[in-house]
A and B are shown apart, each in its own frame.
Chain A
Amino acid sequence: MRTMRQSLLTVGLVLGLLGAPAARGATGNDPDWPCVQRLVPVLSAGSIWSGPALPADGSWRQEPKVAALVSAIAPRAVPDAEGVRAIEGFAAPLDAEARRRLLPMAVSGTLAETNRTRSGLIESIRGFARRQRGLAETVRQLSEQLDAMDPEAKGEAAARREELQQRLFFATKTFQDAERTMRYMCEAPVRLEARFGAYARAFQAALPEAP
């Protein structure tokens, strides 16, 4: 009985959430975007960089030193402080002319790579949200089937009812655990955005004064 009561309580919760993704999603009309933060698909240089215009042609890949810096600081696992130190170490031996030429290139490369990683994360979150919707639908169907059964039934029907209750219990639990995971997932693009901000400020600080 206890399990059943728990199931019914959690079913109510899941059914509540079932209608919620659209409301919870930031755009209000994109059920595949489950995060509270409104989706900004691509980080733009203009939102953070007030330095000289950035080369947009992928020239950073042609400059081995810059390409090496970008591949050292762009991976998701690199902590902000470590990346900032690498930027400072990169700029330190360069003269003013080299800084003016190479640093904007490095910003452009870091932004491109950050966006590439971030797009992958966004796609994972969308996939996760789609699976959650599927799971919520399963909970709804199981719950309907259970409602349609006679609670006083005996024999085979009672066993079938027991089995449905078990399935409902586990589907609900999986859904709830995944909801918690999703909150962490939603933070990942924000962390990349924050790190890119820290990098951009470090690049800006290393630029020489305008001539």
Chain B
Amino acid sequence: MPVPLIAGALSAAALLLPLLVTEAPRAETILVSNEKDNTISVIDGATLKITHTVAVGERPRGIVLSRDGRQLYVCVGDSDRIDVLDLESWKVVQHLPSGSDPELLALHPDGKRLYVANEDDNLVTVVDVEQRAVLTEIPVGVEPEGMGLSPDGKFLVNTSETTNMAHVIDTDTGEIIANVLVGARPRAAVWEADGKRFWVSAEIGGTVSVIDAAGHSIAGTVEFNVPGVPREAVQPVGLVFSADGRLAYVALGPSNRVAVVDTRSLEVQRYLLVGQRVWNVALSPDGKRVFTTNGVSNDMSVIDTAAQRVTHSVPVGRAPWGVVVKP
């Protein structure tokens, strides 16, 4: 007889857990780009309710906060520009030039230089956000995609979808200083906080390459094996590190899982079932939650990092793509 009692107590605790999680007030705001709605969903971190839905240009995907956190830069690919969204008035206040079909972008630590991938033109365009002008264009591999700036801003890693390479670019000279072969159709490039390694996800290869930044060599590869899910559905895309850097959360596309990876052993600790076609991930400033965009189920999943479980699904717009958290 004690078994049902314990199970009952456990399930009651499980029911209470989401309530406890949401009780603590949080000032953070979560911003999600909705590729098919041409909007940005603004979600209050405390209540997980949508407070604003802001219209932007066509096909918003990559988003990044300005250095002061007051503006959001939005790649609007089909409008061939970057929209600047003011996070107080919730209005698009400026357009920045971007080159053709901008998809992903990265902001230099100086807060001025924005690096934009132009998939159609095989270029990375560098934009000065204050002058609202293109500073330079860097020719890269075919179909540039992921953009990762080193923490000191000295190096940009750009992934090329077709050549399956990560290009390391010296941001002072604009020259490519190394090309690293990674898995097929590389997507995101994300640096570890100490700048010693960067991780590159490969959507078709189904792996994540961990690259030593000094030697530009592969330090290790993360492999995924989700029980009961065919290999082709495991498509690593966005990734984010935990606050202490010990774990990486990797979005695995149509396998509908986020993998929790030990950054030392590069072993997967756990697969968390989230919404459908999970594409990008972001960490809350206190490190306690991870937010995911799920492009097919049109929602955002919330992961409790301490419990390593999914606590909420928040409906957003159609085809949610990018996600960032404003403290």
Query: Quick one: which of B11, B143, B230, B296 contacts A42, CB cutoff 8 A?
Result: B230
A62 interfacial contact with B, CB 8 Å: no
Complex Cα spacing A38 to B233, Å: 8
Instruction: Scan residues 153-211 of chain A and give those whose CB is less than 8 A from a CB of chain B.
Output: 190, 193-194, 197-198, 209-211
A46 interfacial contact with B, CB 8 Å: yes
Contacts of B253 in A (CB 8 A): 38
A67 interfacial contact with B, CB 8 Å: no
Decide: A40 and B232 in contact? CB cutoff 8 A: yes
B66 interfacial contact with A, CB 8 Å: no
B266 interfacial contact with A, CB 8 Å: no
Contacts of B7 in A (CB 8 A): 210
Complex Cα spacing A46 to B232, Å: 13
Decide: B233 and A47 in contact? CB cutoff 8 A: yes
State whether A26 and B233 are in contact (beta carbons under 8 Å apart), knowing that A46-B226, A48-B256, A197-B276 are contacts in the complex.
Answer: no
Decide: A48 and B276 in contact? CB cutoff 8 A: yes
> What is the interface residue range for chain A against chain B?
20 to 34
Contacts of A28 in B (CB 8 A): 162, 184-185, 204
Instruction: Scan residues 205-255 of chain B and give those whose CB is less than 8 A from a CB of chain A.
Output: 226-230, 232-233, 235, 253-255
Query: Quick one: which of B184, B185, B203, B254 contacts A193, CB cutoff 8 A?
Result: B254
Decide: A38 and B256 in contact? CB cutoff 8 A: no
A23 interfacial contact with B, CB 8 Å: yes
Contacts of B277 in A (CB 8 A): 193
Decide: B296 and A194 in contact? CB cutoff 8 A: yes
Complex Cα spacing A210 to B6, Å: 12
B273 interfacial contact with A, CB 8 Å: yes
B158 interfacial contact with A, CB 8 Å: no
Dominant secondary structure at the A interface? loop
Complex Cα spacing A12 to B143, Å: 20
Tell me how far the C-beta of B209 lies from the nearest C-beta in chain A, rounded to whole angstroms: 17
A50 interfacial contact with B, CB 8 Å: yes
State whether A47 and B297 are in contact (beta carbons under 8 Å apart), knowing that A40-B230, A209-B11 are contacts in the complex.
Answer: no
The listed residue with most B CB atoms (<10 A of its CB), out of A38, A41, A193, is A38
Decide: A45 and B228 in contact? CB cutoff 8 A: yes
A39 interfacial contact with B, CB 8 Å: yes
Complex Cα spacing A211 to B273, Å: 22
Complex Cα spacing A35 to B242, Å: 34
Instruction: Scan residues 16-67 of chain A and give those whose CB is less than 8 A from a CB of chain B.
Output: 23, 26-28, 38-42, 44-48, 50
Please name 24 pairs of A and B residues whose Cβ atoms are closer than 8 Å in the assembled complex, sorted by A.
A23-B143, A38-B204, A38-B232, A38-B253, A40-B233, A40-B254, A41-B232, A42-B230, A45-B228, A47-B226, A47-B229, A47-B256, A50-B273, A193-B254, A193-B277, A193-B296, A194-B276, A194-B298, A197-B256, A197-B275, A197-B276, A197-B296, A197-B297, A209-B11
Which residues of A are in contact with B by a Cβ distance under 8 Å? 23, 26-28, 38-42, 44-48, 50, 190, 193-194, 197-198, 209-211
